[in-house]
Amino acid sequence: MAKVFDTNSRVDGFRMPGEHEAQEAIWMAWPERTDSWQWGAKPAQAAFVEVAKAIAAETPVNMAVSYRQYANARALLPPHIRVVEMTTNDSWMRDMGPSYVINGEGERRGISWQFNAWGGFVDGLYFPWDADDAVAQKICEFHGDDIYQAPLVLEGGSIHVDGEGTVYTTEECLLHPSRNPDLTREEIEEYLINYLNVSKVIWLPQGLYNDVDTNGHIDNLIHVPRPGEIVLSWCDDPSDPQYDISREAMSVLLNETDAQGRQIKIHKIPVPEPMYIREEEAIGFDACEGMNRASGVRLAGSYANFLITNRRIVFPLLCKGRDEEARAALADIFPDNEIIGVEARDILLGGGNIHCITQQVPMA
C-alpha cells in the first residue's frame, strides 16, 4: 500500500521532472462517456488506439479501462499495450492522473491534486467526478509509489515545468473562481512551489482562444521542449482572436527569465486554421449541461498539445493546410526525436488532444 505523506516535495527533496526527461510508462484512459464523445465514443476509441500505438513503439502504455469496456478495449488494442481495469468518469488522464516527482536517490512519488471536473459546481463539465479524483492514487498504488495529497484544486494540463525550477501556468485557469476561490494568487504560488519544488512561477494571462472547457489550460498554448525554451502557439492573422493572445504571451515570456536566470528562447508553432464543429459532428452526443457541442462552435485546436515521450514526439494532425508546417517546426525543435503525427480531430471534438489524454511516469 502506498504511503500518503503529509509533507511536500520541497521539504523532502523531490522535484517534478520535465517531460523531456526519461519516462518509464505513459498512462491513458479509455473513452466511453456518451455526452463527451460522439456516437458512443467509437470514433474516439479508434483515435485513442492510434495514439496508444504511436506511443507504445517507444514507451510502454497502460490503458485504464472500466469493467464495461474491458473486453472491447482489449480486443481493439495490440497485446503489448497493458489494459488495466479502473473506474473513471471520463478519459482526460493528464488532468486526473498523478503529477510525479523524483529525487536524486532513485525514489519517485506522485502528487494527487484535487480534481473537480474543470470547475466543480461553478462551471464543471460533469458530475460526479469522484472516480476521476481517485485515479491518481490508484496509479501510484499500481506502481508502488508513495503519494502527496495536495490540498489544491488543479489539473495536470494547467501546468508545465522545465525540471529545473520553473513552472508555467495561466491566470485564466488557476485564478478562475471555479478552482480555488478562497486562495490568493500568492497562496496558489506557494502551493506550486512547495509541491512541485520550483522556485519561479511564470504566469501567462490567457490560454488558447476559446479553450472554455478547461478555462485556458497552459498545455494548449505552450509546451516546454527543454529548460530555457518554450514552444508557443502562434497566429499571424490579425483578424483571429488568437493573434493578440499569442503576442501577449510572447511579451510576458520575453520579459521574464526562468528559475536559472536564463532568457527564454521561444519557438513558434502555427495554430491550425480556425476549426469549427461541423453540422454532422454536432449530433451523436447525449445531452450534457456542461459541454457545448453545437454546430459552428470554434474548436480549441493546437499543435502545442503534443506529447514528448523519450525519443519520440506524438503530435495531433488537425488541418491539412498546417499539419506539415507543424511537423517541420517540431522537427527543427527536436532534431534528435522521431516526429509522429496521429489523426486527432475525433479527440479534439471531446475537448482536448494528445497531451490532455496522456500522463507520463518518469523513470525513478
Span 14-67, pLDDT tens digits: 999 999 999 999 999 999 999 999 999 999 999 999 999 999 999 999 999 999
Q: What is the pLDDT of residues 223-238, one digit of tens each?
A: 999 999 999 999 999 9
Residue 31: closest CA among 47, 44, 16: 44
Q: Specify the pTM.
A: 0.97
Q: What is the pLDDT of residue 290?
A: 74
Phi-psi region of 259 (alpha: psi -120 to 50; beta: other; left: phi over 0): alpha
Task: Give Rg (Cα) of the chain.
Answer: 19
pLDDT category of residue 11 using cuts at 50, 70 and 90: very high
**Hey, which bits of 66-131 come out as E strands?**
82-85, 99-102, 108-114
The single residue of 140, 173, 319, 356 carrying the catalytic annotation is: 356
Q: What is the pLDDT of residue 337?
A: 98
pLDDT, mean of residues 79-94 = 98
Residue 1 predicted with pLDDT over 90: no
Q: What is the pLDDT of residue 293?
A: 83
What are residue 293's DSSP bridge partners? none
Residue 319 annotated in active site: no
Q: What is the pLDDT of residues 252-308, one digit of tens each?
A: 999 999 999 999 999 999 999 999 999 999 999 888 777 778 899 999 999 999 999
Residue 319: closest CA among 271, 279, 355: 271
Q: What is the pLDDT of residue 192?
A: 98
Q: What are the residues whose beta carbons fall under 8 Å from the beta carbon of 164, sequence distance 6 or more? A: 18, 227, 258, 259, 260
Domain limits at 247? Answer: 4-362
Place of cell 503534443: 306
Q: What is the pLDDT of residues 92-147, one digit of tens each?
A: 999 999 999 999 999 999 999 999 999 999 999 999 999 999 999 999 999 999 99
Q: What angle do CA 46, 51, 53 make, to 5 degrees?
A: 95
pLDDT, mean of residues 183-204 = 98
CB contact at 8 A, 361 and 27: yes
Q: What are the residues whose beta carbons fall under 8 Å from the beta carbon of 90, sequence distance 6 or more? A: 29, 31, 33, 36, 125, 126, 132
Total count of domains within the chain:
1
| SS3 label, residue 227 | coil
Place of cell 481517485: 134
Instruction: Report the chain's terminal Cα–Cα distance, integer Å.
Output: 18
CB contact at 8 A, 298 and 209: yes
Q: What is the pLDDT of residue 288?
A: 77
CATH number at residue 119: 3.75.10.10
Amino acid, res. 140: C
Q: What is the pLDDT of residue 302?
A: 98
